[in-house]
Amino acid sequence: MKALVYSAPEEFDILDIPVPQVGPKQVLIRVKACGVCRTDIHIHSGRFISEFPLTPGHEFAGTVEKCGNEVFEFKPGERITADNALPCGHCYFCRRNEPLYCENFYSLGCNGPGGFAEYVVVNSEKVFRIPENLSFEEAAFTEPTACVIHCMDALKIKPGSSVLIFGAGPAGVILSQMIRHCGASNLVVCAPTEKKLEMVRKLAGANTVQIGRSGARDAHQIIMSFAPKGFDYVIDATGSSEIVEQCFDFVRVGGCIAVFGVPNEDAVVKIKPYDIYRREIKFMGTFAQTHCFERAIGFLAKGIVRVAELITHEFPLERYGEALDVLKNDREAMKIIIKP
């Protein structure tokens, strides 16, 4: 089969490798669509939890090609997607029912073979059917939608809340739709690119503020006009340390700041501990997801979260390098889909 294989950070080729063997409780998936995520840029550079050699691609959907001899719930030809997160089940945190903190966290496309290939093998308990009304391209959004659901679970946003989001990439737009649907009465999204903000207005009905790439301090007065006492929740969906610092300028007393975007591992944020202490600000992160795929498929299948409009580019596997360049350099690019 054809597969994208990294031998080391920033070094990859399209290779012809053997189709992976299917274990007794596994499913072989023929990949029809796999999304390129900004996390893939971190992986390209050898960051995040990447391990090499590696076939990346953690947002995939396709059809069942073959089932192991102990798999009876699926059959060849069925349309499916798969949860890429595979906690070990036996470490300290897994035994405390905290699988996201797994000490041996294994993630297809991050530190295990993923979906930028013609085929990928997945444990059967991580495979989910997708309905006919959901295209393979839309189903490839299940993983980022599941990550958004985990963020919502962690934040516990109350109905009627005011929410400020920095970032209008695919995850930011999905997050905006989810927050609007789950009860925020005042939603404001800030980003540098007007075309992306237009998408947020269309899909989430949010107020938007265009800001510079260095942050929002020049737009402070405009942003605060939507919540003069500050926002209940301020969420960074950019991964920018500068933006994370600026979140403190917009959160209300007793409010919550969440880091949702993926920062560089060596990024540093300067904060004032007294500010957190005196204003009782909650400062938290939300990393990836486990066990959120079923709910994510429900949001997508019912059209509550709309993603088809977010697809701006499609490439064959052989043009992965071009896809990566577009994601890095085209400010209007949203979701890029690879068709192995």
CATH: 1.20.1250.20, 3.40.50.720, 3.40.1350.10, 2.60.40.10. Which one for 146-285?
3.40.50.720
Give me the pLDDT at residue 286, please.
Answer: 96
- Residue 41 is predicted with a pLDDT of 96
Helix/strand/coil percentages in the chain, nearest 5: 30, 30, 40
**Res 183: pLDDT:** 86
What pTM value is reported for the model? 0.96
pLDDT of 87 above 90: yes
Dihedral of alpha carbons 225, 228, 232, 235, sign:
positive
What is the mean predicted confidence (pLDDT) over 30-53? 96
SS3 338: strand
Closest CA to 108 of 63, 67, 147, 58: 58
pLDDT in tens, 164-210: 999 999 999 999 999 999 889 999 999 999 999 999 999 999 999 99
Among 322, 335, 330, 265, smallest CA distance to 46 is for: 265
Residue 285: pLDDT band with limits 50, 70, 90? very high
- Give the confidence band of 137 by pLDDT, cuts at 50, 70, 90: very high
Q: State what percent of residues in the chain have pLDDT above 70.
A: 100
Q: Is 48 left (phi over 0), alpha (psi -120 to 50) or beta?
A: left
Band the pLDDT of 292: cuts 50, 70, 90. very high
Residues with Cβ within 8 Å of 259's Cβ and at least 6 positions away in sequence, in order, are 236, 244, 284, 285, 286
What whole-number distance in Å separates Cα of residue 2 and Cα of residue 280?
A: 53
DSSP bridge partners of 70 = none
What pLDDT, on a 0 to 100 scale, did the predictor assign at position 103? 97
Strands (E), the chain: 2-8, 11-16, 26-36, 59-67, 79-82, 85-86, 106-107, 119-123, 127-129, 162-166, 186-191, 207-210, 231-236, 251-259, 282-285, 311-316, 335-339
Residue 296 has pLDDT above 80, yes or no: yes
What CA–CA distances, in Å, run from 198 to 217, 310, 325? 21, 11, 24
Question: In this structure, what are the phi and psi dihedrals at residue 45, rounded to the nearest 5 degrees?
Answer: -90, 0
> Could you tell me the CATH superfamily of domain 2-141+307-339?
Medium-chain alcohol dehydrogenases, catalytic domain (3.90.180.10)
Average pLDDT over residues 252-278: 95
CA dist., res. 22 & res. 66, Å (int): 8
Tens digits of residue pLDDT in 219-249: 999 999 999 999 999 999 999 999 999 999 9
pLDDT of residue 258: 98
For residue 214, the model assigns a pLDDT of 77
Contact 109, 116 (CB under 8 A): yes
pLDDT of residue 217: 87
In the chain, which residues fall in CATH 3.40.50.720?
Answer: 146-285
Which pLDDT score, from 0 to 100, does residue 213 have? 80
